[in-house]
Amino acid sequence: MSPSLQNTVAIVTGGSRGIGRAVAIGFAKEGADVAIVYLEETEDARATRRYIEAEGRNCLLFRGDVGRPDFCRKSVERTVKEFGRLDILVNNAAEQHLRYRLEDITDDQLHRTFRTNIFAYFYLSREALRYMKKGSAIINTTSITAYLGHEELIDYASTKGAIVAFTRSLSMAVAKRGIRVNGVAPGPIWTPLIPASFPPQKVKKFGTNTPMGRAGQPDEVAPCYVFLSCDDSSYMSGQVLHPNGGRIVNG
């Protein structure tokens, strides 16, 4: 790859594994130093750091809950203090809990899902924008469920729909500052979240209903984030890319 992100600094939430890990490594290959924010998968986060350092880049690890505004503020501040700047924010951390009826979604689950999946995007973007300059980029991970819905992930899909609206609204709010805001809406992608969320019979068939007949890999999604972070996408803001195996959705 050409070093399209040479000497830039990125924060990637949910970066210890899955899509977040692939994005962080992709950024490092393009020349960026990366701060990884994760909840509790310390060994996975350390492995991601080793991959990044193998590319000759620096990596910071921040363990904590992105649903807490104070943690988000400290993570951004420490990144800027350590690396001297902040050019890219990837809001990617998320959680989902399979429930077959709306009545089964507890207040605690509802609040937790929204705190992690959308409130954190507000918290981190708000802090990042204090340091971002012209040419910076924010990329938000939404989902195909924002467009198709999901009968067993009602609260999760609702947060993903909110992320689309957040992306479009924030992109307009910061356009005159020269900062771009875009999103990525993955379809079925093999990540640790899948076997942790679904019963074995559904995991076995995961992704087979796409036109391509299979689920995707994180490495097939990461290039979307690299593209949206660099000057190659300089005329794109408020948009969402759809790596989803060929499913046609609006938006």
Strands (DSSP E) contained in 39-179 are 59-63, 88-91, 137-141
pLDDT of residue 206: 85
Among the ranges given (129-138, 192-201, 212-221, 238-247), the one the predictor scored with the smallest mean pLDDT: 192-201
**Domains of the chain, start order:** 9-241 (3.40.50.720)
pLDDT of residue 40: 92
pLDDT of residue 98: 87
Structure tokens at 228: 């949206």
Residue 79 in this model has a pLDDT that exceeds 70: yes
Residue 108 near residue 28 (C-beta atoms within 8 A): no
Give the pLDDT band (50/70/90) at residue 223: very high
Q: Tell me the average pLDDT across 72-89.
A: 98
Q: State the catalytic residues.
A: 156
pLDDT digits (tens, 9 = 90+) for 148-164: 999 999 999 999 999 99
Interatomic CA distance for residues 23 and 204, integer angstroms: 26
Give the pLDDT band (50/70/90) at residue 3: low
Q: Tell me the average pLDDT across 223-245.
A: 97
Q: Tell me the average pLDDT across 124-150.
A: 97
Give the pLDDT band (50/70/90) at residue 251: low
Residue 200 in this model has a pLDDT that exceeds 90: no
pTM of the entire predicted model: 0.94
Give the pLDDT band (50/70/90) at residue 171: very high
Q: How many Cα atoms occupy the beta-carbon half-sphere of 198 within 13 Å?
A: 17
Helix (H/G/I), strand (E/B), else coil: 3: coil
pLDDT of residue 2: 54
Residue 39 in this model has a pLDDT that exceeds 50: yes
How many CB atoms lie under 10 A from the CB of residue 106?
A: 11
Among the ranges given (36-40, 46-50, 189-193, 215-219), the one the predictor scored with the smallest mean pLDDT: 189-193
pLDDT of residue 199: 77
Among the ranges given (19-33, 86-100, 184-198, 230-244), the one the predictor scored with the smallest mean pLDDT: 184-198
Residue from 21, 123, 22 nearest 65 by CA: 123
pLDDT of residue 235: 97
Mean pLDDT of the chain: 95
pLDDT of residue 120: 98
Residue 126 near residue 138 (C-beta atoms within 8 A): no
Interatomic CA distance for residues 49 and 60, integer angstroms: 8
pLDDT of residue 1: 47
